[in-house]
């Protein structure tokens, strides 16, 4: 997948080679081969805003991803910078990190990320991008009663991070926050609740991706079902009600929509694929959002000679039965069989 061609791949070290005549040991004969799955929005290492980042917990979470066939994760923000040794661990997914969350006053859980002033935000963003995998994550807004990070500040963040070769992810869940992030030229909008559809054409042109994390936001109605309505709950519920139509409109406008699960439980990217399908994305597009499309967006090659040997093999065509994504027959990570 996605080319739907019959191919024979040979794993040489940590790379794929196309060699139909090879006499190497057969590890899988037949099946549907996908590039390793991708979760582009996950936060391994903590489970609640009260948690301190823990290396052992991070390994546990990353292992849960791997066992589900998720062989690449992007962690757009964390309570701590991801340790460098993760990059050399053969049994853990490839990790694209964004350093610590960057939060200006009253725009995030206190002390959970790196608290900075608006004046210091551009420099802090550069520091986190250089200390990570080239990404930084800005909390662009928070609650509806708080103004979003000003547009001129976000523009400076994007300008300075791009100048050092980095990319900027922006947390957005208010209309103002989404507007400012798109207008500033952010590389990705995380969540995009209350996103004005009038911004979608600009997102497509400037290649700003949308990562809606529907799996997490889908819990909103249950969370507030038995509670007395409040301004906050009304805002959240109304935001959720518009998210599926936003995802479909984004896809129709040519925006790159990607799959990310956000928080616990880990290793459930198949749920996000299911939500993208419910939102109206073609099944193959939804699967690509958690596989080949996401890998390309991160700069990774997929199923080609010389590409990284990250494969997930299934006994059925996932585009016909997407739930088969929960049952990988073989998982090959960095050239090694791990499942």
pLDDT tens digits along 73-97: 999 999 999 999 998 999 999 999 9
Count of alpha carbons within 13 angstroms of residue 1, beta-carbon side: 29
Instruction: Tell me: pLDDT of 115 over 80.
Output: yes
pLDDT band at 28 (very low <50, low <70, confident <90, very high): confident
Q: How many CB atoms lie within 10 A of CB 86?
A: 18
| Confidence at residue 225, expressed as pLDDT on a 0 to 100 scale | 84
According to the model, what pLDDT value does residue 5 have?
82
Question: How high is the pLDDT of residue 202?
Answer: 98
Contact between 10 and 22 under an 8 Å Cβ cutoff? The reply is yes
Q: Is residue 205 pLDDT above 80, yes or no? A: yes
Contacts of 234 (CB under 8 A, 6+ apart): none
pLDDT of residue 148: 97
Least confident range from 5-9, 119-123, 159-163: namely 5-9
Give the C-alpha separation, 272 to 268, whole Å. 7
Q: Is the pLDDT of residue 214 over 80?
A: yes
285-294 average pLDDT score: 98
Average pLDDT score over the chain: 95
For position 226, what pLDDT does the model report? 81
134 pLDDT more than 80 = yes
Residues 132-147, mean pLDDT to the nearest whole number: 96
Q: How far is CA 106 from CA 115, 148, 190, 269, 328, in A?
A: 9, 10, 19, 31, 43
- Is the per-residue pLDDT at 63 higher than 90? yes
Euclidean distance between CA atoms 194 and 146, whole angstroms: 15
Mean pLDDT of 37-53: 95
């Amino acid at each position: 997948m996605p080319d739907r061609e019959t191919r024979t791949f040979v794993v040489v070290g940590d790379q794929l080679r196309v060699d139909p005549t090879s006499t190497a040991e057969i590890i899988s004969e037949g099946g549907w081969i996908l590039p390793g799955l991708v979760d582009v929005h996950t936060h391994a290492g903590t489970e609640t805003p009260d948690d301190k980042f823990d290396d052992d917990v991070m390994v546990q979470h990353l292992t849960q991803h791997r066992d589900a066939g998720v062989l690449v994760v992007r962690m757009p923000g964390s309570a701590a910078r991801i340790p460098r040794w993760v990059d050399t661990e053969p049994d853990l997914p490839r990790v694209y990190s964004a350093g610590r969350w960057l939060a200006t006053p009253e725009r995030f859980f206190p002390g959970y990320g790196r608290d900075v002033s608006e004046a210091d935000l551009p420099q802090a963003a550069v520091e986190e991008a250089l200390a990570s995998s080239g990404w930084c994550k800005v909390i662009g807004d928070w609650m509806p009663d708080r103004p979003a990070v000003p547009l001129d500040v976000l523009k400076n963040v994007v300008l300075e991070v791009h100048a050092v070769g980095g990319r900027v992810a922006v947390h957005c869940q208010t209309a103002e926050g989404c507007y400012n992030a798109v207008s500033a030229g952010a590389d990705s909008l995380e969540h995009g609740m209350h996103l004005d559809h009038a911004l979608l054409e600009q997102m497509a042109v400037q290649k700003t991706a949308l990562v809606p994390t529907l799996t997490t936001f889908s819990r909103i109605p249950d969370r507030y079902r038995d509670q007395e309505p409040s301004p906050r709950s009304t805002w959240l519920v109304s935001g959720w009600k518009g998210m599926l139509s936003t995802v479909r409109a984004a896809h129709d406008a040519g925006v790159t929509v990607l799959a990310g699960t956000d928080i616990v439980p880990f290793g459930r990217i198949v749920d996000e694929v299911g939500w993208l399908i419910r939102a109206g994305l073609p099944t193959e597009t939804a699967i690509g959002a958690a596989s080949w499309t996401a890998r390309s967006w991160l700069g990774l090659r997929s199923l080609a000679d010389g590409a990284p040997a990250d494969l997930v093999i299934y006994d059925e065509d996932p585009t016909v039965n997407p739930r088969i994504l929960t049952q990988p027959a073989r998982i090959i990570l960095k050239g090694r069989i791990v499942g």
